Amino acid sequence: MVGIRHLLKAHRPVVVLVGIILALTMIPIFEIVLVLGDSWQGIPPGFTNESFYQARVQAIVKGHPAGGEPYFFEHRDDPPLVIFGGIWLNAIPQLAGLSLNASLLINFILWSLLFTASAYWLFRELRTPPWLAVFGVTFLYLQGYEHIVRVVNLQTVYPFFFLFYVVLLRFIREQNRKNTALLALATGATFYIYAYLWQAVVITLGILFVYAFLQRNWKLLKATLFSLFVGSAIGLPVPLYALWLSHASPYFWESAGRLGLVNTHLPMAEVVYSGGWVAVVVVFLSVLCVRSRTFLEDKEFVLLGSFIAIGGLGLWIMQGSNLITGKLLETGQHLRLFIFNWLVFATISIGVFLWRRYTQISGRLRVFSVTMVAVLLAVNAYSLYSYFFIQLFPSNIDRAAWLTDELSAKPLAWLENEEKNPVVVWGEPNDSLTSNLPVFTKHYTLYVWAGMMELMPEDEIRERYLVSQYFNNPTAADLKSPAATRAYLGRHDAYHAAKTIERKIKICRILFFWDTNKDCGAPPTSQSLLGDAFFTDLGNRFQNDIKPNIKVYLKKYHVSYILKDKILDPHYEPEVLGARLVYSDDRYEIWRL
């Protein structure tokens, strides 16, 4: 007992940090009790878009090791469009026999602790004092809470992100066999975890290679090349899989388009809004080098500065990589999260270093340094404010939506118990119950928005959507509405194509601000890019093909049940299709075809 007390006392900052993080992981449970109370029926409420990723985890649990398509029965064993190693990692507790809810809690706590351990390790490697490291990790955790509470993305990604930087820093400090091997392993692991991360990691090591060459540090250069080569060899199956899939499947590129792929060399504005802070930090470090010979000759500053600059530039270049590749897949907003993580540990580590060297800094440089650190601290505070997870406070929770989710427990349980084998259920695509169906049962949906984010033909997506709209009887005008287009077009056609043209117009106006007669064009809408004929054809297809042959299409997609929300979908009349009512409660009805 004395030994344990001594150990806890010796590592008090770590104990306090773990206590803080564990307390924060209990917030969802606290909010369920506070907001739902006795109304909770076992359905974990949605804080973000967890069901989108949890459905993919459930596909593994259901016995489809490739992941496949979690929403559509006919594609359940198809190859995945994107490899997310996190779906296998998050599936482990359920595969071990635990319930879904127990697995969600264990995953959240476990990966939160791994986040904490890896981030704290990084701060300590950066020579940050223990209590300041506790503050830094807590800040990072609050900044990323929205993504840590969500399985797969980025819950399982963050620890690998921080571990890579830990190993990178140790490697730059000393290129021994252990550090070289660890860097190779850390690099290889990122390939299987997150596509945006492994690309940023490879770019970072490429920058380190160039840095070593310019410094004529041949030992660093050779070790970097070895780690990059071995790490890339470990992760090679992932890009090779994508390359194979792009040639093997005729639907690869249109499926990638639904994820948001746009062919453009024009980066997103995030390259400036968030990525620009990388440039600010690099310039800050450069000024310190140029203005202070003491810093230039200080090995610890050179190590810190090179590590921060190389790591930040790797993220920034990845964020704007479509400038070279011509392929933009929402890299701006996805890399923003990592850049603000990087900015936190960069700001704290630079601030700590300057504080320790305060007496060595001249008057003007001291004022400049204090000002810059203050600016960076303000930016970090603003980023926390901007991306703060507001649902940490019960007052910001949509209680009505949570209660509605709980009402779905009974019909979901009925379907799970009634049917021993997977069946297809037709529900309104916009209803949360339809999206949750593959998460809480073994069954599949006729159509739901999230289903289009896998490898499938474009025509089938639209056909499924039209079939699901039978009771809504949509016209061309209905199909043209923004709410409808978001449900079946995918992110390229529904959003990014128009936004890309809009960015070009904005840049044109900036470049020719002095010329009021310059015609830069008018921002288009997604609907105008597709043209009226597109929506007219869809409307005609529904009226002339889908509607009169609805039973044929229901048979084609193996639909066995119709799920009706009596409040949201009162116009649903399953009986006209010969369906028989088999379940009913105050909110839902289930009809068997």
Show Cβ contacts of residue 242 under 8 Å, excluding neighbours closer than 6 positions: 83
Write down the pLDDT at residue 186.
98
d(CA 311, CA 317): 10
Residue closest to 259 by CA, chosen among 269, 249, 267, 251: 251
Question: Using an 8 Å Cβ cutoff, are 187 and 122 in contact?
Answer: no
Question: Using an 8 Å Cβ cutoff, are 167 and 182 in contact?
Answer: yes
591, with CB counted inside 10 A (0-12, 13-18, 19+), is buried
Write down the pLDDT at residue 344.
97
Write down the pLDDT at residue 2.
60
Half-sphere exposure of 224 (CA within 13 A, CB side): 23
Question: Using an 8 Å Cβ cutoff, are 245 and 79 in contact?
Answer: yes
Show Cβ contacts of residue 494 under 8 Å, excluding neighbours closer than 6 positions: 482, 485, 486, 526
Show Cβ contacts of residue 316 under 8 Å, excluding neighbours closer than 6 positions: 271, 275, 278, 279, 335, 339
- Longest Cα pair distance anywhere in the chain, in angstroms? 86
DSSP 8-state assignment for residue 97 = T
Q: Where are the domains of the chain?
A: 402-592
Residue closest to 404 by CA, chosen among 372, 428, 374: 428
Show Cβ contacts of residue 562 under 8 Å, excluding neighbours closer than 6 positions: 425, 426, 427, 572, 574, 577, 579, 590, 591, 593
- Residue-wise pLDDT tens for the chain (593 aa)? 566 776 677 779 999 999 999 999 999 999 999 999 999 999 998 887 888 899 999 999 999 988 889 999 999 999 999 999 999 999 999 999 999 999 999 999 999 999 999 999 999 999 999 999 999 999 999 999 989 999 988 899 999 999 999 999 999 999 999 999 999 999 999 999 999 999 999 999 999 999 999 999 999 999 999 999 999 999 999 999 999 999 999 999 999 999 999 999 998 999 999 999 999 999 999 999 888 888 888 899 999 999 999 999 999 999 999 999 999 999 999 999 999 999 999 999 999 999 998 888 888 899 999 999 999 999 999 988 877 667 677 777 888 888 999 999 999 999 999 999 999 999 999 888 999 999 999 999 999 999 999 999 999 999 999 999 999 999 999 999 998 999 999 898 888 999 999 999 898 988 888 888 888 888 999 999 999 999 999 999 999 999 999 999 999 999 999 999 999 999 999 999 999 999 999 999 999 99
Question: Using an 8 Å Cβ cutoff, are 312 and 339 in contact?
Answer: yes
Neighbouring CB atoms inside 10 A of 561's CB total 24
Show Cβ contacts of residue 213 under 8 Å, excluding neighbours closer than 6 positions: 221
CA distances from 319 to 189, 316, 481 (A): 20, 5, 32
DSSP 8-state assignment for residue 430 = T
Asked, as a colleague might, if the bond just before 113 is cis with ω within 30 of 0, I would say no
Write down the pLDDT at residue 446.
97
N- to C-terminal Cα distance for the chain?
66
Can you name the residues that pair with 348 across neighbouring β-strands?
none
Write down the pLDDT at residue 205.
98
Residue closest to 472 by CA, chosen among 425, 424, 433, 429: 429
d(CA 486, CA 346): 38
d(CA 436, CA 458): 23
Write down the pLDDT at residue 3.
67
